[in-house]
Amino acid sequence: MRNKYLLPFAITSLMAALSGCGGESANVKPEVYDSSTANGACSIGATGCLGFALDYPLNGLNFTCSSDTKNSFVTSFDLNNGAATGACKVGDKITFFIKGEKDKQISLGVLDLNKIARVSTSQLPRLTILDIASGMTSQTAASLDPNDNTVKVAMRLVKILQALAKQNNNIVDSTDIQPLYITDQMRVDLEKMSESILSGKFVTATDIDLENLLKPWVNISGISDTEAFSTLSNLVTIANAGVYQPEFSLFSTAGIVGSLLSGSDGLVGCNKTICNTEDSSTQHLFGHFMLITDRDGYTFGSGLQWRGAGVTNTSTIGGLNTKLITGTKPIRMTANAQNHWINPVTKKIDQNYDFQVDQVTTPLSIYQGTLYNDYMIAGKEKFYKLLTGKTTVTTADEQDYGLWSQTIGSENFKGTLDLYKIFPITYLDKRVFKSINNVGAGESYAFPMYANLTFKFTDTSVADVVLGIVIDEKGNIRTNIKSGNTENDMSTASCDSTQFNSSTYMDGFGVQQYRIGTISRAFTNNKTLSLRMVLGNAALGKIDGALVGMNTNIKTSDTSETIVVGGALLNVGNLLNINSGSAAVTFNDSEGSTVKWANSLASFQKVYNTNNATHTSQDTDLAKLSGGTLTFALAPCYSVHVK
């Protein structure tokens, strides 16, 4: 008989109540009887332990791990991290269920964790409701289609969770996603069901039969199929969202998955079948970019590439790239907002993702790759083996490698891509992110929020640029540039969301607007929002390519020179304390200092200029745009409203 790691009755009820009132819930854990933890068969971070984060912020989902025959566990939601986590050992099969106080339970099938991840990394892979459903049907979803059998089962599970959330007054809108605690009372009430529901019956029962079986515990009839599918789609999209960037291959380091300085090659290639770094007749290409996938599933960003010949006595890719950086001009790459990137269901790049490249008419297209561990695409055998745990690679396996191509004049370039997914986003807690979508009638809300960003340049000879933005009701960030704008004044003039076409991104004044970022997560302890932005469009002029809130350092040489992009935290605490009108917000980096922004193209142009006396006046002007500081001010027309 398995030990059940559940929190003591009175304590869990109290902590759930505190969380509902805005208190910070610590994870209270019972006495540990062996080396297992309350939320898994091993400690996250330990060798051979595979931690996971649920896409749904669910505390108290029961599970067992096949390697532990004595204990059962519950997922633990941590407000500080914004995620519900659990852990089993690498290679385990995990059995999910929702258990009542005594004997009744709802069985949710068995999932092979190898389908989620095969190695431990520093970033927890997302385990989704759709993954759990695939364990119940023994089939992965072919696509995110409400007629797909596995998707249908996932929708049933979503209905239960959302019905519990509404029943517990956690949500107002049936598609909103907020933390859900399986409370002691819920477990007591589950015993009212006439029988346990095995996973087979969960899958095959008619909608009416399943509804009737569940009704003594929770009434799922209040959640429609349309609402369940919308919620599931949002969960899948959010699980796929984050920042994507290749390794910046300059300096060789140890090949360790889990470190952003892993020694992988990043985006590299050439115009020949074999890329010989010492062959002067071979034209090499390498690049770097930052992409954001937002809460709508759109992906956009900015980057750069270098092209040049091989160099004698340069034996490594990193060595060649360093010489290209100092000897050739960087070339801008722009990824306009595209609604495809990595397929959120299959985790594959299943159609071209294009970067427009300055000076050429043809794009650089990333056309192949599979995201493993919800963390990395491997372009070559070495890293593929690390990610998959495989010792040999088949021809079929090679179809998962990250590959790209680009035609430049008569030359066909091609190469490989080692890519990281970093800074995955989470749900937005309504105690901080109050939007028109998640508050009830008569309640105040702060989003959509209209504001102006002022970009100041480290080179003070460059005039400030003011950019109008909107943080919309979903948590995505777009421009809000006024009609009649100038190079330095692209500020907000209107706070009327009815004048905006979300399909064309054209506002009612005939101005084209652009996706530029998203809120990564909401911190309930200090009422702040983490903003991440990549500005990528020629229309943005001097701030085209600006990076904000990326918490990233990019080395520009083999010395200590780096491009520093810190955090960008917006404190909205004052807005939560008023019923209507406007109030001040604060905007700081992770250290409480002024937010800094950077532009990688301009920064590397500065590196080129330093090493080449023949650089032009245009090169000098571009280097002046390498970065600076950023301020955030609410637009004069903005105010908190009441729904």
Both tokens assigned to 419: 């890519």
Q: Is the pLDDT of residue 10 over 50?
A: no
Contact 206, 86 (CB under 8 A): no
Q: What is the pLDDT of residues 80-109, one digit of tens each?
A: 888 999 999 999 999 999 999 999 999 999
Cα Dmax for the chain: 83
In a 10 Å sphere around its CB, with 0-12 CB exposed, 13-18 middle and 19+ buried, how is residue 341 labelled? buried
Strand partners, 587: 570
Q: What's at 380, amino acid-wise?
A: K
Lowest mean pLDDT among 77-81, 307-311, 632-636: 77-81
Contact 52, 78 (CB under 8 A): no
Q: Is the pLDDT of residue 635 over 50?
A: yes
Q: Is the pLDDT of residue 309 over 80?
A: yes
In a 10 Å sphere around its CB, with 0-12 CB exposed, 13-18 middle and 19+ buried, how is residue 143 labelled? exposed
Residue 187 pLDDT level (bands cut at 50, 70, 90): very high
Q: Is the pLDDT of residue 32 over 70?
A: no
Both tokens assigned to 465: 């640029």
Both tokens assigned to 563: 């491009």
Contact 490, 479 (CB under 8 A): yes
| H or E segment to which residue 470 belongs | strand 465-471
Residue 551 pLDDT level (bands cut at 50, 70, 90): confident
Q: What is the pLDDT of residues 104-129, one digit of tens each?
A: 999 999 999 999 998 877 789 999 99
Residues 330, 403: Cα–Cα separation, whole Å: 21
As a whole-number percent, the residues of the chain with pLDDT over 70 amount to 90
Query: Mean pLDDT in the chain?
Result: 89
pLDDT at 15: 30
pLDDT at 44: 87
Lowest mean pLDDT among 3-12, 153-162, 327-336, 599-608: 3-12
Lowest mean pLDDT among 30-34, 154-158, 447-451, 594-598: 30-34
Q: Is the pLDDT of residue 255 over 60?
A: no
Cα Rg of the chain (Å, integer): 26
Contact 150, 132 (CB under 8 A): no
Lowest mean pLDDT among 200-204, 436-440, 556-560: 556-560
Q: What's at 400, amino acid-wise?
A: D
Is this model's pTM higher than 0.85 or not? yes
Q: What is the mean pLDDT of residues 522-527?
A: 94
Interstrand relation of 49-54 and 126-127 (parallel, antiparallel or unpaired): parallel
Residues 307, 327: Cα–Cα separation, whole Å: 10
Q: What is the mean pLDDT of residues 368-373?
A: 95
Q: What's at 38, amino acid-wise?
A: A
Q: What is the pLDDT of residues 146-177, one digit of tens each?
A: 999 999 999 999 999 999 999 999 999 999 99
Q: What is the mean pLDDT of residues 263-272?
A: 88
Q: Which residues of 120-138 are buried (b: 16+ CB within 10 A; e: fewer)?
A: bbebbbbbbbbbbbbbbbe
Q: Is the pLDDT of residue 31 over 70?
A: no
Residue 557 pLDDT level (bands cut at 50, 70, 90): low
3-class SS of residue 26: coil
Q: Which residues of 214-237 are buried (b: 16+ CB within 10 A; e: fewer)?
A: beebbebeebeeebbbbbbbbbbb
Residue 261 pLDDT level (bands cut at 50, 70, 90): very low
Residue 12 pLDDT level (bands cut at 50, 70, 90): very low
3-class SS of residue 605: helix
Strand arrangement of the beta sheet that strand 76-78 belongs to: 76-78, 83-89, 49-54, 126-127
Lowest mean pLDDT among 141-145, 435-439, 577-581: 577-581
Interstrand relation of 586-588 and 403-408 (parallel, antiparallel or unpaired): unpaired
In a 10 Å sphere around its CB, with 0-12 CB exposed, 13-18 middle and 19+ buried, how is residue 380 labelled? middle
Both tokens assigned to 250: 């300059």
Closest CA to 376 of 262, 533, 289: 262
pLDDT at 345: 95
Contact 143, 120 (CB under 8 A): no
pLDDT at 510: 93
Both tokens assigned to 230: 């919308």
Q: Is the pLDDT of residue 308 over 70?
A: yes
pLDDT at 23: 29
pLDDT at 249: 59
Lowest mean pLDDT among 37-51, 254-268, 536-550: 254-268
Q: What is the mean pLDDT of residues 236-261?
A: 66
DSSP state of 25: P
